[in-house]
Structure 1
Amino acid sequence: MNQDYIKADKWCIIEEGFDKENVKSSESIFSIGNGAMGQRANFEESYSGETFQGSYIAGVYYPDKTRVGWWKNGYPEYFAKVLNAPNWIGIKIYIDDTEFDLATCKKVSGFKRELNMKEGIYTRTFQAVSSNNVEIEVNIKRFLSLDIDEVGAISYALKVLKADAKIAFEPFLDSGITNEDSNWDDKFWNTTKVSTSHNRAFIEAHTMKTNFETCTFMQASLNYNGKELPGVQSEKTETYVSLKFEQKVKANETLTLTKFGGYTVTRNHVANELVTAANDALDKASSLGFEGLMQTQKEAWASIWEMSDIVIEGDVKAQQGIRFNIFQLNQTYLGTDSRLNIGPKGFTGEKYGGSTYWDTEAYCIPFYMATKDDKVARKLLKYRYNHLEKAIANATKLGFSNGAALYPMVTMNGEECHNEWEITFEEIHRNGAIAFAIHNYYRYTGDYSYIPEMGLEVLIGISRFWHQRVNFSKDKNKYVMLGVTGPNEYENNVHNNWYTNYLAKWCINYTLTQLTKVKNGYPDDYHRIMGKTKLTDRECDKWRNVADNMYFPYSKEFGVFLQQDGFLDKDLVKVDELPKTDRPINQKWSWDRILRSPYIKQADVLQGFYFFEEDFSLEDLEKHFDFYEPFTVHESSLSPCVHSIQAAKLGRMEQAYNFYLRTSRLDLDDYNKEVEEGLHITSMAGTWMSIVEGFGGMRVIDDKLSFKPQIPNQWKAYSFKVNFRNRIIKVTVTAKTASFELSGSKEVSIRVNGKKVELFPDEIVTV
């Protein structure tokens, strides 16, 4: 497979030439979504080559029963699978009664895919000689509407070249689909009704176990020489329905099939009104027509880019990378529904179950706070508050009590549904990321109301967990944390992971501070919460004792905190001394060998230095960066962005730039040789952070926005916008200057390189 086949372009993702080896990778890279549903870039027409069919509906999942050899108490009952939903995009094509298939064509030329990120439109064009020797030219456009988010639209134009031919289009719906990723090969969908009405068709189906009821729908019309041709119902089975359009076409004339399709779901509608809702959505789409709906799409994306775009001058690959990341983040989550969250693969694949991870709090919230408004980030935090009772239930299953809360490593509805015990039971640092996000949200937005309304209850549950999770070591005369897995998942069941211990201490202290603040400033909320949680001063004193006496492993020899006890017992061979044939180690080495090695999957100690940088000096960071980065293999998508930010802070711009390029083009260049499984959506927010927090040096210090701008040598300039407390600030950085422009009606005071700068509306200040 050719890794580097995507053409460099500022606004588009482009593939030229048909290569069967690239089909599954391109299906991921050219995926489209609109926050409510998503679609891999599968061909509309039949394709007998290797393909990974994927259509997805936000929030619809199946609880696939856990499959393990040895059941342990507390094990998750199931792994939540994002479901491959019924296929609405399909169009069978027959040329002189022979089915058209790119895999069997005698010749394919001029093949080109293009994902126009500026407008949210995916196109595919090619010429082909079919297996029965008919020459055709095809031009396809597809998008998922942001305005009518239950609807997707396809325009499929086919021109016959050289000789007349009979062409038949059969647009179809199919609910007889399977998941690539299934524990027991269960049937995930049950189809209850298949129906047609004129040029429309509907499949009503529900998920097994979770019973999400859906209606998959379509409307199709065929245009030939300016006339709309009627179609007829062609085939109907228990799980399939198609319409048929047939026409004798003269040489050099074009047939255009327009297909609207999509899903209505009981998450948004009453069950017996799904078909009615589908008809309403189709009425809206058809009243606009394909071109009209496409125009609303362009306008909707223009509005998104107006705020979230990052412009880079002088480096096309870097520009393409960041826009691809921003585009995919906006396709996955737009902040319109607090019941939804951001899955690591978004709508591009099934790996990881499409569920919520700690990635949202650690990486995604900063992006949404700065490029949307505080309401969107608040919804992501409300999602966790809504799941607090289940987080308490998750902790109870593991033997915790008194309202201790352990948020799940992976979830769709608040229940833990991750199947690997060393992650499920031990990667408990995810609790701390949720507490940190509450702090980060208030620090950035200035909106304290979330804490008395919801956040304090979450913090209390998390602090209770940490208090119960530690042991007191008589030998060390300190509290220790045994049997954990830190962010470095290449170390399982370790004792005293520094990052986890530090998070626990910080969480307890932060909670105690917020208790005092809410007691003094929000007495009604305070009494409500105390009544609900039964928290006492005596319990708080016990928490404080744990935080004050937490143990942190430290090496006097190297002058660094140790990732965990025993880290120095390893054979400390640096990554650059490893043979290239051993990389990536997660695909080349046994798990036993990995666990005994010093190699770090992603930022661990350095993740703590990123979160709590105000607690450490620049010299501390430098010492720890120089010690740990040489052992880091960056085999997690979440790793390069943190290292890029830290390298930039240390003024190592060449290293920061290389890490940035890796995180921004992780999927486009398929660094991990796995892009065909789907994209790395949550780490894409880290790419945004690499520029804004890394190169731009953006922080909130003493309640003020602060910048320390730098620029990579490879760039002429870059610019970005942030929404800070409802003030839009545009930052432009060149090799010599940094300029700041404020939109809105109120002035704001910021700091640039430690000095105070006053910004006034519609004025540019250059430093």
Structure 2
Amino acid sequence: MKQYIKTDEWNIIEEGFHPEDQRLSESIFSIGNGHMGQRANFEEAYSGDSLQGSYMAGVYYTDKTKVGWWKNGYPEYFAKVLNATNWIGINIVIDGESLDLAKCQVKEFRRVLNMKEGFLHRTLIARLPGQKEIRIDAKRFVSMTVKEAGLIRYSITPLNFDGECIITPYLDGDVKNTDSNYDEKFWTEVHKENSAEGAVLTLKTKKLNFRLCSLMKYDLLQGGEKSQHTAELIEKEKYVGCNLRLTLKQSEETVLYKYVINVTSRDKTEDELIPYGKSRLEEVYQKGFDAMLREHSAAWSKKWNESDIAIEGDMSAQQAIRFNIFQLNQTYTGEDERLNIGPKGFTGEKYGGSTYWDTEAYCLPFYLSTADQKIPRNLLIYRYKHLEKAKENAAKLGFPKGALYPMVTMNGEECHNEWEITFEEIHRNGAIAYAVYNYVNYTGDRDYLKEYGLEVLIELSRFWEERVNFSKARNSYVILGVTGPNEYENNVNNNWYTNRIASWTLEYTLEVINRMKADSYPAYKSLEDKLSLKETELVKWMDIIKHMYYPVDEERDIFLQQDGYLDKEQCLVRDLDKQNLPLNQHWSWDRILRSCFIKQADVLQGLYFLQDKYDLDTIRRNFNFYEPRTVHESSLSPCIHAILAAKLKDKEKAYGMYLKTARLDLDNYNNDTEDGCHITSMAGTWMSVVEGFGGMRVVEEKLCFHPVIPDNWKSFSFRIKFRGNLIKATITKDAVIIKNENGQKITLSVNGTDYTIDSEKAIQI
């Protein structure tokens, strides 16, 4: 665990220069707007350890993947988000000495991520090798109102000298991914323009023909007036820039405003890229930095008004939850149904920037409650549009019926290259089915089922029908050779969660079919004909539901994670030598697989999804058995445990798990944040507060709360959108206050009692 971030209500603050933590800071202080993102690299040259990263949503590369002797059904490539044109670059040379913080004496340094207004601000005083001292003040943001725009205000003030300076704003497309095979580069140059006022650089990928057009303009001011300088154009392969030569005067601030537009061929045709980019750039340039920042900050204000969580009495928890919400809101805006959410968002390259089951299991609830309904709907439409690819994926694995969604994807094709995940972690299908249920249950949008959802459910159910087999010995259906959510177990039989979510998918599909038959028979009949759905299939699904096998331990009265789990030596995490943690960085894979230790919630994942189907005693027995064996070495793990612990009124455990998920990146709990923040698990942090401490659920069309407050909190509050209403819930030591801030009269439940609240009215319980 690494703690060097200063605690603050609305800001992430790094005081003092920590070059040993530079990659970590680059992740934590990242900025984005759903269209593009930027790690917190320095604008000026830096020869120290760094992971330069600029990313464009939906722009990826089908990199080569290495496979062993078994190739049937294996993906042909590993998709990865591409490091794109470095648009922030501003080199500084003073009297022949380059500003490079790895080679300077850094006397003062402060970096602030202003989450309330959405910008990154860095100030420092550096002494160059020649003893000249300068103050740097750099502020940048990527606009929430003009999605293609990135803006920088970069100022230099000499403190003890007059001197000659070269300021070089540039665009550099000669970049590579940190995990490139043999340092391969993925971009080629298409076009460039350069002038003393700005530049254009257009690149295309070597595969798939994505194009990125980056355009820049700049202003240079001294003493608040346009500077007197000379300009020397620079052009290299995949690079355009301009040396601006001028004289610095002691104590006088010199400011460079850099305006950049990044537009891709996902949004515009090849012929439109440059004209459109120039038009947008001129629009932004004419408005200017300050006006654009005001618009940007107003957009963030609106987001915070709908998604903020306020915690009184615990600044560490307050900072953490806002950091997580901030990263979620700048990663995905929901405007483009072709996009999804990568585990690292725009903060790094690990996991390739691809879509996992994280979106459906963890991210969807956040957007359901904090965004317009079309945004979570678009997340589900994304999967619907990949349904044919999912059917192809199932066929590759030998299942001619049904759909198996990929574990990892950019375009619907499987691109994960580890067999125990690619072939065996089929529980991901269940997360997608549950997301359909979760969306409809929360929004009441049954039209979605008619238009998209039921078709997905039917194809998922067809897959489960084929994937099970009937065991005569058990007189039950079993599912063999799987990996559950606990990836520290591979190729097991009858993982309880997989069996249960498969059976539940069949149950829910049949429920939707029966309801649609009764309420919208023509729509159902049309879908039945389209899919050639037979009554014999429905009968088979009912038989599987009735005769599904679930491993249990009757002595402990718990669900077994899988067959044979109790054959393992049973140890608890508390008995491990702490020097062995995290296990994945200290133990061999063989040793991990033979241990009883659990990477993340597995049985408990199922009990979280289906908690309304199990009584508290059942949840408690399973929680008390599995949580002490869980090492939480997946970022997705602590939040599930926090929610269930809160449900069980174990406030101490719930709070500890909340802090672990909320400050996972800020404190670098798992020593793995330097390659990007854990964006998808950040949604779990929100869930820990709203679904955990707030006890928020939707049961039988009704919004319900069963709140519990940690002992060291004075109060906490959150807002959620629910079926046209904006509801604010405030929980104190003594009361629960629910306000219907906007919308129609609503009836909801608090601790099992119904209350009706008029619009703009509140109740206190």
Aligned residue identity for 2:20? E
Q: Does 1:140 align with 2:115?
A: no
Q: Return 28-37 or 366-375, whichever deviates more.
A: 366-375
- Hey, what's the Cα distance between the residues in 2 that align with 1:75 and 1:23? 37
Contact 2:175/2:185, CA 8 A, preserved across alignment: no
- Once the two structures are overlaid, the 10-residue window that deviates more, 306-315 or 189-198, is 189-198
Q: State the distance in 1 between where 2:124 and 2:264 align.
A: 35
Gaps of 5+ in 2: none
Q: Does 1:288 pair with 2:281?
A: no
Match of residue 124, structure 1, among 122, 127, 145: 122
Match of 2:491 in 1: 493
Alpha-carbon displacement from aligned partner over 1:681-719 (angstroms, at most 9, x marks no partner) = 000000001000100111111211010111101111110
- Aligned mate of 1:441, from 439, 442, 446: 439
1:212 counterpart residue number? 210
Q: Which runs of 4+ in 1 moved over 4 A?
A: none
**Amino acid in structure 1 at the alignment position of 2:323:** F
Q: Which of residues 741, 748, 761 in structure 1 aligns to 2:746?
A: 748
Question: 1:158-557, aligned counterparts within 5 Å?
Answer: 158-183=156-181, 185-229=183-227, 232-402=231-401, 404-557=402-555
Partner Cα separation in structure 2 for residue 338 and residue 522 of structure 1? 27
Give the superposition deviation at 1:184: 5.2
In 2, the alpha carbon distance for the partners of 1:234 and 1:440 equals: 56
Paired residues of 2:359 and 2:680 also in contact (CA < 8 A): yes
**SS at the partner of 2:78?**
strand
Q: Quote the Cα distance in structure 2 between the aligned partners of 1:471 and 1:721.
A: 46
Which residue of 2 is the match for residue 21 of structure 1? 20
1:102-150 CA distance string (max 9 Å, x none): 1111x21220000000000100000011122211011000000011110
Query: Are 1:53 and 2:57 counterparts?
Result: no
CA distance in 1 between partners of 2:283 and 2:211 (Å): 22
Structure 1 vs Structure 2 CA RMSD: 1.1
Q: Could you tell me which residue of structure 2 aligns to residue 30 of structure 1?
A: 29
Conserved 8 A contact 1:39-1:348 = yes
Q: Which amino acid aligns with 1:505?
A: S
Conserved? CA contact 1:100–1:131, under 8 Å:
no
**How far apart are the structure 2 equivalents of 1:720 and 1:634?**
27
CA shift for structure 1 position 186: 3.2
Output the amino acid matched with 2:312: E
CA drift of 1:313 comes to: 0.5
- 8 Å contact from structure 1 (residues 322, 664) kept in 2: yes
Instruction: Indicate if the aligned counterparts of 1:36 and 1:149 stay in contact, CA closer than 8 A.
Output: yes
Amino acid at match of 2:451: E
Paired with 1:32 and 1:3, the residues of 2 have a C-alpha distance of 21
The worse-fitting range, judged by mean Cα deviation, of 208-217 and 630-639 is 208-217
State whether residues 470 and 477 of structure 2, in contact with CA within 8 Å, keep that contact through their aligned partners in structure 1: yes
CA apart distance, 1:198: 4.3
SS class of match (1:103): coil
SS in 2 for 1:301: helix
Give 1:468's aligned amino acid. Answer: E
SS of the residue 1:509 aligns to: helix
Deviation string, structure 1 residues 662-692 (Cα, Å, up to 9, x no partner): 1000000000001101000000000001000
Q: Is the 8 A contact 2:167 2:243 kept in 1?
A: yes
Code of the aligned partner of 1:398? L
What SS does structure 2 have at the residue aligned with 1:675?
coil
Task: Give the Cα–Cα distance (whole angstroms) in 1 for the partners of residues 171 and 737 of structure 2.
Answer: 53
How far apart are 1:563 and its partner, in Å? 0.2
2:669 equivalent in structure 1: 671
After superposition, the C-alpha distances for 1:137-194 in whole angstroms (9 at most, x for unaligned) are: 1100000001111010000000011210111100111111010022454331111112
Structure 1 CA distance for aligned equivalents of residues 526 and 148 of structure 2: 40
Q: Is the 8 A contact 1:194 1:238 kept in 2?
A: no
User: Any conservation in 1 of the 2:468–2:478 contact (CA below 8 Å)?
Assistant: yes
Picking from 673, 688, 691, the partner of 1:690 is: 688
- Other-structure match for 2:102: 103
CA distance in structure 1 between the aligned counterparts of 2:120 and 2:185, rounded to whole angstroms: 31
Partners in 1 of 2:91 and 2:369 — Cα distance?
Answer: 44
| Residues in 1 aligned to 2:578 and 2:658: alpha-carbon distance in whole angstroms | 22
Check the 8 A contact 2:232/2:244 in 1, yes or no. Answer: no
Paired amino acid for 1:455 = G
Asked if the contact 2:420–2:483 (Cα under 8 Å) also holds between the matched residues in 1, the reply is: yes
In the aligned structure 2, how far is the partner of 1:610 from the partner of 1:37? 33
CA contact (8 A) 1:48 1:103 kept: yes
Q: Which moved more, 1:160-169 or 1:4-13?
A: 160-169
1:565 aligns with 2:572: no
Alignment partner, residue 728 of structure 1: 726
Instruction: Indicate if the aligned counterparts of 1:196 and 1:233 stay in contact, CA closer than 8 A.
Output: no
TM-superposed CA distance for 1:513, in Å, is: 1.4
TM-superposed deviation, 1:233 = 4.4
Please say if residues 193 and 238 of structure 1, whose CA atoms lie closer than 8 Å, have aligned partners that are also in contact: no
Corresponding residue for residue 597 of structure 1? 595
Aligned-pair identity (%): 54
TM-score (norm 1): 0.98
Which residue is equivalent to 2:11? 12
| Change in 2 beyond 3 A, CA 1:85/1:597 | same
**Which moved further from structure 2: 731-740 or 507-516?**
507-516
CA-CA distance at 1:277 after TM superposition: 1.4
State how far apart, in whole Å, the 2-side matches of 1:121 and 1:378 are: 29
Structure-2 separation of matches of 1:620 and 1:354: 38
One-letter amino acid of the counterpart of residue 262, structure 1: I
Aligned length: 764
Partners of 1:231 and 1:518 in 2: how far apart?
Answer: 72
Distance 2:547 2:60 in 1: 43
Cα distance in structure 1, aligned partners of 2:209 and 2:315 = 47
Using the alignment, how far apart are the partners of 1:529 and 1:523 within structure 2? 10
Aligned mates of 2:520, 2:422 — CA distance in 1: 36
The answer to whether the Cα contact below 8 Å between 1:344 and 1:355 also exists between their aligned partners in 2 is yes
2:638 matched to 1:640? yes
Give the SS at the match of 1:27: helix
Q: 1:422 and 1:714 mapped to 2: Cα distance?
A: 43
SS for the counterpart of 1:166 is: strand
SS at match of 2:58: coil
User: Which deviations, in whole Å up to 9, do the C-alpha atoms of 1:720-767 show, x marking residues without a partner?
Assistant: 001010101100010010101002241100110000111111222000
**Cα displacement (A) at 1:231:** 5.6
> Are 1:86 and 2:93 an aligned pair?
no
Structure 2 equivalent of residue 699 of structure 1: 697
Shift of the alpha carbon at 1:262? Answer: 3.4
CA distance in 2, matches of 1:110, 1:442: 53
* Matches of 1:89 and 1:573, distance apart in 2: 51
Q: CA deviation at 1:337?
A: 0.8
Equivalent pair of 2:77/2:415 in contact (CA under 8 Å): yes
CA contact (8 A) 1:199 1:232 kept: no
> CA–CA distance in 1 between the matches of 2:473 and 2:271?
66
Deviations 1:322-346 (A, max 9, x none): 0000000001001111111111000
Counterpart for residue 681 of structure 1: 679
Contact 1:373/1:726 (8 A) holds in 2: no
How far apart, CA to CA, are the structure 2 residues paired with 1:63 and 1:287?
Answer: 39
Counterparts of 1:53-72 in structure 2, within 5 Å, are 53-72=52-71
Instruction: Give the Cα separation in 2 of the matches to 1:623 and 1:466.
Output: 29
Deviation per residue, 1:477-533 (Å, 9 max, x gap): 111000000000000000000000001101011111111222222233222212221
Secondary structure of the equivalent of 2:203?
strand
Classify the secondary structure of the residue corresponding to 1:677.
Answer: coil
